[in-house]
Amino acid sequence: MGNSLCHFELMTSDVEKCKAFYGSVFDWQFDGDTMPGYTLVQTGQDPPGGLFPKPETVPSACMNIYFTVDDIETTLKSATDNGGEVLVPKTAIPGVGHFAMFTDPEGIAVGIMQPDE
């Protein structure tokens, strides 16, 4: 069975409050801003995560999850062929790979990542 969970992200209205909450509840560590406005989350085991401010256009704070795939285009086509909708097309993350996001037929957001080889 493939496509394991590889990353999660917390999109929050209050980054410092979010860090304090998850740091206290789960003893997570935060690596500061590795990219402008983006903080890596170390949970003590894989997968790692990220934390960033919620854009004003996004209606509410949320947690995004990402699954590893072999081919983003094939996965996005399968998602749309089965009633999903592309939210974020294939996007490069320099030195990491590519990511994209889609919704399932009920509107649940799902992220996918294709690592650089």
CATH code assigned at 76? 3.10.180.10
Name the residue range of residue 101's domain: 69-117
Tell whether 16 and 58 lie within a shared domain: yes
Q: How far apart are CA 62 and CA 14, in angstroms?
A: 12
Question: pTM for the full model?
Answer: 0.82
According to the model, what pLDDT value does residue 117 have?
79
Q: How many domains does the chain have?
A: 2
Q: Please enumerate in sequence order all residues whose Cβ is within 8 A of that of 97, keeping only pairs 6 or more positions apart, or say none.
A: 113, 114, 115, 116
Tell whether 23 and 1 lie within a shared domain: yes
8 Å CB contact between 2 and 60:
no
Q: How far apart are CA 40 and CA 109, in angstroms?
A: 21
pLDDT tens-digit profile of 28-39?
Answer: 999 876 678 899
Tell whether 59 and 23 lie within a shared domain: yes
pLDDT tens-digit profile of 34-82?
Answer: 678 899 999 999 999 999 999 888 888 999 999 999 999 999 999 999 9
According to the model, what pLDDT value does residue 80 have?
95
By the 10 Å C-beta count (0-12 exposed, 13-18 middle, 19+ buried), 51 is classed as buried
